[in-house]
């Protein structure tokens, strides 16, 4: 008998097109509805059919939000899955599935619990029912709420007709009964407590958190060119465009996308572009225009490994330097990198106020791991989102680039007020007309690159300290690695190690320096050079003492961070 | 043609200190285009605050500084996507994208192609002097074969770009060509272009007195003619006319009335309010979360 308690990591693996994502969707939905905490994340190959894609689903009695390497139950839909995940298999891993899908080398090494999924699906009518059979089986292992499975199937397959719905429910039911039986006959034992609160929570992905955050912040214009892994946000916006009454347009290239968004902001809309590193590279020219013209813009950049096309479907925090330095000349920008889905919601909505207020590009940095992560969370409080409009009326004498103490000029939009608004990507006077005057150039350079930047710095959010203030060791993380470092620290269980997480990445508030004083600093980030550590050095003169870096295109696992931390603190 | 010179031109004469000195060469065709544009806007009875001129880079692109209207002087070749964003965010504005032949046909060529597909209700004015002026005389996409320039000392051997034929071939909504030496006719054409719903492309021939010694005022007068007997709704005829090269036909080649981009985006189906006046919809965000609980 194989027994699992409190926290079970289930991995499903199969070819692209075999429906692993369908199983992921049914399971997260039904298990969350059954009162379990769930977390899911997928890894996939850059191809439409074939290859091996996997999904990890954690089912737990407490909140879990991070990727673990460990596999408790593996469901292979295709031969080759075990080889693909072989370094994640342990002594206790149970392989649940058909012998045909297990490579011969592994047959005498793993605990195989044979379940005839294909045969069961065929009995219902077709191999197409494999997914729902498997989903039912796993929900059965947890004695989950079968009504939730039915509900999901109705939602998902409803448009395909009653027969399809009924057949899928039948397949899921057969799987479910088998799952229950496996527990009852003692083959597999699972003990995970339900938490009633979970039922009232929402289940979101990183993509949805960014997308709905943008809507909450008043985004009413999105222009994009598709690029993995950022496209989900554009798809999300397009699917809600009619309800929210916004402009969503797929354009000819990334250059058009950001320029259109600049035009939209110039005319007073709240516009966003969603892209990845390669697309953002094309946007640098327009970013520079945004800097010079003090034209607000919000960019969502979902990172994937580069350079160039890199690993299109994988993850890395490798574009920090790109967004820090993109564009020629000196101009400020704001870089945000949410660590949790809550942060993704609040920060994305806030990005629009920040862009509006400071008239700079605001970049939201996520990554493939982040946008593809699912978990349950209490619904964010929509009331907490403040809508701040910073537009003024153009009255007679209005000057778009009026020199002010804090470097922020009043921004009017065409058509609001009698006066005209002249914006300019050339060096300009206060009215927006071209100038080559040396003294005025100095004033304008100082206004943008110093005064405005100082104003932003003073108001920049501080990082979040998790753990004791007087801890000797301080792990430093930014963006999507929040939860994995957090859980690794919990597992480490030492009070002398704390975590400082940055979701406001640039510019840094000078007060940030205080967090580092007298600590042994351990930088954890998912790139090869430690880009954030370099930023700390450059901006604040902080030198980290240790670096835990990962750059194979896969997300950090709790185990890897834990090992890395142990290597430093023990 | 017999057109009354409009009143109200003074509204569009800029009064800002930086607009006083115009950076164009004495005798430049751009002065004529500026006059034409100011007269056109005045005749249309528009107010400066209702007009937005988005330009790229080049001598032509300096127009926003020499006219009293909302203006955005942007990057080389990028005026069309920016103008599209402006119009889609506030359809109440009259939006003009302005640039030279290098700006619109070389650096911004891709944007022009896709704007024709998208059909935003903007007017694209191309100051076509068949040469790069601001960078001192290199060949542009419309430079005629054989012309010698500092960077093509052997003479240009590339086929010149034919913007009119391109517009008709891609089924653009409005395609016209004029020569700025014909003031009243040009005002009439640009007025129709601005009033036209959908993308209007007007190729405006004009001399570059400093760097184009071939295509002079006299040359344009001699090598152009007005199409008096042309039906712009006849696409095949428009295409035949577009292929004529000497003399070059002037006038409106092609009109295809069709829905504009802004008419089709979901933003304005129920509500015509410009985007800058709109607020977020927290109730819909709450509803989204309610649905995510299920």
Chain A: residue nearest B113 by CA?
A252
Q: Which of A323, A283, A280, A319 lies closest to A303, judged by CA?
A: A319
| B196 vs B80: CA distance, rounded Å | 17
Q: Which of A336, A335, A276 lies closest to A301, judged by CA?
A: A276
**What is the DSSP secondary structure assignment for residue A225, as one 8-state letter?**
-
Query: Which residue from B89, B110, B292 is facing A253, i.e. has the nearest CB?
Result: B110
**What is the DSSP secondary structure assignment for residue A334, as one 8-state letter?**
E
Mean pLDDT, chain A, rounded, equals 97
The sign of the torsion formed by the CA atoms of A158, A159, A162, A168 equals: negative
Tokens standing for residue B67: 């006219």
Cis amide linkage into residue A184, ω under 30° from 0: no
Q: pLDDT tens digit string along B9-47?
A: 999 999 999 888 899 999 999 999 999 999 999 999 999
Contact A269 B64 (CB under 8 A): no
Residue to test with chain B: of A25, A28, A245, A327, most B Cβ within 10 A: A245
Question: Residue A49: its pLDDT value, please?
Answer: 85
| List of chain B residues whose C-beta atoms are within 8 Å of the C-beta of residue A262 | 74, 82, 85
Say whether pLDDT at A272 is over 60: yes
Q: Are A332 and A326 in contact (CB under 8 A)?
A: no
| A352 vs A265: CA distance, rounded Å | 10
| List of chain A residues whose C-beta atoms are within 8 Å of the C-beta of residue B54 | 263
Confidence of residue B4 (pLDDT cuts 50, 70, 90): low
Q: What residues 86-145 of chain B have any CB closer than 8 A to a CB of chain A?
A: 86-90, 92-93, 110-111, 113-114, 118
Which residues are A272's β-sheet partners? A222, A298
Q: Average pLDDT for residues B124-145, to the nearest whole number?
A: 95
∠ CA(A295), CA(A296), CA(A300), 5° rounding? 135
| A345 vs A339: CA distance, rounded Å | 11
Q: Which of B114, B232, B224, B106 lies closest to B158, judged by CA?
A: B106
| B8 vs B187: CA distance, rounded Å | 14
Which residues are A113's β-sheet partners? A96
Contact A251 B293 (CB under 8 A): no
Q: pLDDT tens digit string along A82-91?
A: 999 999 999 9
Confidence of residue B6 (pLDDT cuts 50, 70, 90): low
- Mention every residue, 6+ apart, whose C-beta is less than 8 A from residue B85: A221, A223, A259, A260, A261, A262, A263, A264, A265, A266, A267, A269, A271
Question: Residue A17: its pLDDT value, please?
Answer: 84
Would you call A181 exposed, middle or buried from its count of C-beta atoms within 10 A (0-12, 13-18, 19+)?
middle
Residue with tokens 């009215």: A431
| List of chain A residues whose C-beta atoms are within 8 Å of the C-beta of residue B60 | none
Contact B275 A247 (CB under 8 A): yes
Q: Are A108 and A171 in contact (CB under 8 A)?
A: no
| A132 vs A19: CA distance, rounded Å | 9
Q: Where in B19-168 does DSSP place strands (E)? A: 51-55, 70-73, 94-100, 123-128
Residue A15 distance to chain B (closest CA, Å): 28
Contact B293 A201 (CB under 8 A): yes
Confidence of residue A18 (pLDDT cuts 50, 70, 90): confident
Contact B86 A422 (CB under 8 A): no
Residue to test with chain A: of B64, B72, B108, most A Cβ within 10 A: B72
| List of chain B residues whose C-beta atoms are within 8 Å of the C-beta of residue A145 | none
| List of chain A residues whose C-beta atoms are within 8 Å of the C-beta of residue B267 | 220-221, 241, 245-247
Q: Average pLDDT for residues A173-197, to the nearest whole number?
A: 96
Query: Which residue from B17, B52, B110 is facing A252, i.e. has the nearest CB?
Result: B110
- The β-bridge relationship of strands B248-255 and B224-226 is parallel
Half-sphere exposure of B98 (CA within 13 A, CB side): 30
Residue B262 distance to chain A (closest CA, Å): 9
Confidence of residue A409 (pLDDT cuts 50, 70, 90): very high
Q: Are A46 and A313 in contact (CB under 8 A)?
A: yes
Tokens standing for residue B9: 């031109």
Contact A286 B52 (CB under 8 A): no
Q: Are A135 and A57 in contact (CB under 8 A)?
A: no
| B183 vs B54: CA distance, rounded Å | 23
- Tell me the CA distances in angstroms from A119 to A74, A146, A174, A227, B13, one per residue in order: 19, 21, 11, 39, 81
- Tell me the CA distances in angstroms from A485 to A68, A526, B57, one per residue in order: 11, 12, 49
Q: Which of A552, A547, A560 lies closest to A488, judged by CA?
A: A560
Query: Which residue from B18, B54, B276 is facing A431, i.e. has the nearest CB?
Result: B18
Residue A330 distance to chain B (closest CA, Å): 17
| List of chain A residues whose C-beta atoms are within 8 Å of the C-beta of residue B109 | none
Say whether pLDDT at A261 is over 70: yes
Residue A35's region, left for phi above 0, alpha for psi from -120 to 50, else beta, is left
| List of chain A residues whose C-beta atoms are within 8 Å of the C-beta of residue B276 | 267-269, 391, 413, 415-416
Residue to test with chain B: of A433, A440, A444, most B Cβ within 10 A: A433
Q: Are B86 and A263 in contact (CB under 8 A)?
A: yes
Terminal CA-to-CA distance of chain A, rounded, Å? 36
| List of chain A residues whose C-beta atoms are within 8 Å of the C-beta of residue B93 | 267, 414-415
Residue B271 distance to chain A (closest CA, Å): 8
| B53 vs B68: CA distance, rounded Å | 10
Q: Are A210 and A233 in contact (CB under 8 A)?
A: yes
Query: Which residue from B18, B78, B277 is facing A434, i.e. has the nearest CB?
Result: B18
Q: Average pLDDT for residues B48-75, to the nearest whole number?
A: 97
- Mention every residue, 6+ apart, whose C-beta is less than 8 A from residue A352: A214, A217, A218, A219, A270, A272, A298, A362
Tokens standing for residue B279: 């607020």
The pair phi, psi for residue B96, each rounded to 5°, is -120, 130
Chain B: residue nearest A288 by CA?
B75
Tokens standing for residue B63: 């127009």
Q: Which of A222, A271, A292, A221 lies closest to A449, judged by CA?
A: A292
Q: How many residues does chain B have?
A: 294
Q: Which of B18, B216, B286 lies closest to A243, judged by CA?
A: B286
Query: Which residue from A217, A286, A431 is facing B75, i.e. has the nearest CB?
Result: A286
Cis amide linkage into residue B230, ω under 30° from 0: no
Contact B85 A416 (CB under 8 A): no
| A217 vs A234: CA distance, rounded Å | 16
∠ CA(B158), CA(B163), CA(B168), 5° rounding? 130
Query: Which residue from B88, B268, B280 is facing A264, i.e. has the nearest CB?
Result: B88
Confidence of residue A216 (pLDDT cuts 50, 70, 90): very high
CB contact, 8 Å: B270 with chain A?
yes
Q: Average pLDDT for residues A176-197, to the nearest whole number?
A: 95
Chain A: residue nearest B19 by CA?
A433
Residue B10 distance to chain A (closest CA, Å): 15
- In our burial notation (b when 16+ CB lie closer than 10 A, e otherwise), range B31-67 reads bbbbebbbbbbbbbebbbbbbbbbbbbbbbbbbbbbb
Say whether pLDDT at B3 is over 70: no
Q: Which of A396, A393, A397, A400 lies closest to A422, judged by CA?
A: A400
Confidence of residue A1 (pLDDT cuts 50, 70, 90): confident
Contact B84 A220 (CB under 8 A): no
Contact A218 B279 (CB under 8 A): yes
Percent above pLDDT 70 for chain A: 100
Q: What residues 275-294 of chain B have any CB closer than 8 A to a CB of chain A?
A: 275-282, 284-286, 288-290, 292-294
∠ CA(A534), CA(A540), CA(A545), 5° rounding? 55
Query: Which residue from B269, B275, B279 is facing A221, i.e. has the nearest CB?
Result: B275
| A44 vs A42: CA distance, rounded Å | 6
Confidence of residue A570 (pLDDT cuts 50, 70, 90): confident
| List of chain B residues whose C-beta atoms are within 8 Å of the C-beta of residue A396 | none
Q: What is the ipTM of this complex?
A: 0.97
Contact B111 A203 (CB under 8 A): no
Residue to test with chain B: of A35, A203, A263, most B Cβ within 10 A: A263
- The β-bridge relationship of strands B123-128 and B94-100 is parallel
Q: pLDDT tens digit string along A286-340?
A: 999 999 999 999 999 999 999 999 999 999 999 999 999 999 999 999 999 999 9
Q: Are A568 and A522 in contact (CB under 8 A)?
A: yes
- DSSP letter string, B101-112: HIIIIIITHHHH
Query: Which residue from A253, A255, A267 is facing B89, i.e. has the nearest CB?
Result: A267
Contact A259 B88 (CB under 8 A): no
Residue A242 distance to chain B (closest CA, Å): 5
């Amino acid at each position: 008998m194989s027994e699992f308690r409190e926290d079970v990591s289930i991995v499903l693996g199969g070819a692209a097109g075999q429906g692993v994502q369908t199983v992921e969707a049914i399971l997260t939905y039904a298990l969350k509805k059954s009162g379990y905490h769930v977390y899911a994340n997928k890894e996939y190959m850059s191809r439409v059919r074939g290859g091996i894609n996997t999904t990890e689903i954690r089912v737990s009695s407490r909140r879990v939000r991070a990727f673990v390497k460990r596999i408790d139950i593996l469901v292979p839909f295709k031969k080759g899955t075990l080889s693909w995940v072989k370094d994640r298999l342990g002594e206790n891993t149970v392989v649940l599935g058909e012998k045909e899908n297990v490579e011969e080398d592994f047959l005498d090494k793993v605990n195989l619990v044979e379940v005839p999924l294909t045969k069961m699906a065929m009995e219902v009518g077709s191999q197409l029912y494999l997914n729902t059979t498997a989903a039912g089986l796993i929900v059965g292992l947890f004695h989950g709420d079968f009504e939730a499975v039915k509900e999901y199937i109705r939602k998902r397959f409803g448009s395909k007709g009653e027969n399809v719905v009924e057949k899928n429910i039948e397949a899921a039911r057969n799987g479910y009964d088998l799952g229950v039986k496996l527990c009852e006959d003692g083959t597999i034992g699972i003990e995970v407590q339900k938490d009633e609160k979970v039922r009232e929570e929402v289940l979101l992905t990183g993509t949805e958190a960014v997308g709905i955050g943008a809507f909450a912040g008043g985004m009413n214009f999105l222009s994009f060119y598709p690029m993995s892994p950022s496209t989900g946000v554009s798809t999300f916006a397009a699917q809600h465009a009619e309800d929210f009454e916004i402009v969503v347009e797929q354009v000819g290239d990334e250059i058009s996308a950001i320029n259109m968004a600049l035009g939209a902001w110039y005319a007073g809309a709240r516009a966003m572009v969603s892209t990845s590193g390669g697309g953002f590279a094309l946007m640098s020219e327009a970013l520079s225009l945004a800097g010079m013209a003090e034209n607000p813009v919000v960019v969502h950049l979902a990172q994937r490994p580069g350079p160039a096309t890199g690993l299109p479907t994988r993850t890395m925090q490798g574009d920090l330097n790109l967004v820090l330095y993109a564009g020629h000349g000196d101009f400020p920008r704001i870089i945000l990198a949410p660590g949790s889905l809550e942060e993704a919601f609040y920060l994305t909505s806030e990005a629009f106020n920040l862009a509006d207020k400071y008239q700079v590009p605001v970049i939201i940095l996520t990554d493939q791991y982040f946008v593809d992560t699912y978990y349950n969370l209490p619904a964010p409080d929509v009331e907490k989102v403040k809508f701040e409009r910073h537009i003024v009326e153009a009255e007679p004498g209005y000057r778009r680039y009026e020199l002010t103490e804090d470097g922020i000029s009043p921004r009017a939009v065409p058509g609001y007020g009698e006066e005209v608004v002249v914006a300019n990507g050339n060096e300009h006077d206060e009215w927006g007309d071209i100038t080559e005057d040396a003294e005025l150039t100095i004033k304008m350079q100082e206004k943008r690159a110093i005064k405005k930047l100082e104003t932003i710095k003073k108001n920049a959010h501080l990082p979040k300290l998790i753990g004791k203030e007087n801890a000797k060791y301080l792990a430093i993380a930014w963006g999507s690695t929040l939860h994995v470092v957090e859980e690794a620290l919990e597992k480490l269980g030492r009070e002398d190690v704390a975590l400082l997480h940055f979701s406001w990445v640039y510019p840094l508030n000078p007060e940030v320096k205080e967090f580092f004083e007298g600590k042994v600093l351990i930088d954890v980030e998912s790139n090869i050079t430690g880009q954030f550590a370099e930023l700390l050095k450059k901006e604040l003169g902080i030198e980290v003492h240790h670096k835990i870096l990962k750059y194979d295109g896969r997300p950090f696992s709790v185990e890897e961070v834990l090992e890395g931390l142990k290597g430093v603190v023990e | 043609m017999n057109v009354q010179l409009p009143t109200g031109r003074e509204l569009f004469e800029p009064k800002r200190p930086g607009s006083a000195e115009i950076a164009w060469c004495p005798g430049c065709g751009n002065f004529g285009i500026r006059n034409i544009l100011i007269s056109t806007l005045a005749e249309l009875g528009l107010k400066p605050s209702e007009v937005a001129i988005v330009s790229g880079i080049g001598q032509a692109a300096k127009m926003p500084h020499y006219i009293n209207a909302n203006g955005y002087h942007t990057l080389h070749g990028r005026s069309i996507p920016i103008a599209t964003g402006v119009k889609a965010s506030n359809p109440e504005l009259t939006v003009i994208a302005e640039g030279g032949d290098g700006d619109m046909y070389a650096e911004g060529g891709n944007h022009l192609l896709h704007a024709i597909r998208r059909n935003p209700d903007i007017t694209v004015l191309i100051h076509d002097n068949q040469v790069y002026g601001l960078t001192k005389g290199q060949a542009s996409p419309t430079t005629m074969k054989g012309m010698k320039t500092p960077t093509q000392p052997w003479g240009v051997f590339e086929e010149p770009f034919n913007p009119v034929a391109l517009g008709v071939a891609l089924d653009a909504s409005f395609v016209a060509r004029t020569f700025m030496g014909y003031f009243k006719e040009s005002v009439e054409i640009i007025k129709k272009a601005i009033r036209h719903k959908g993308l209007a492309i007007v190729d405006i021939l004009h001399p570059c007195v400093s760097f184009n010694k071939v295509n002079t005022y006299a040359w344009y007068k001699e090598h152009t003619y007005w199409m008096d007997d042309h039906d712009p709704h006849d696409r095949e005829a428009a295409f035949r006319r577009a292929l004529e090269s000497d003399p070059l036909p002037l006038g409106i080649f092609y009109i295809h009335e069709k829905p504009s981009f802004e008419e089709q985006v979901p933003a304005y189906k129920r509500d015509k309010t410009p985007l800058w006046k709109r607020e977020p919809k927290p109730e819909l965000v709450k509803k989204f979360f309610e649905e995510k609980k299920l």
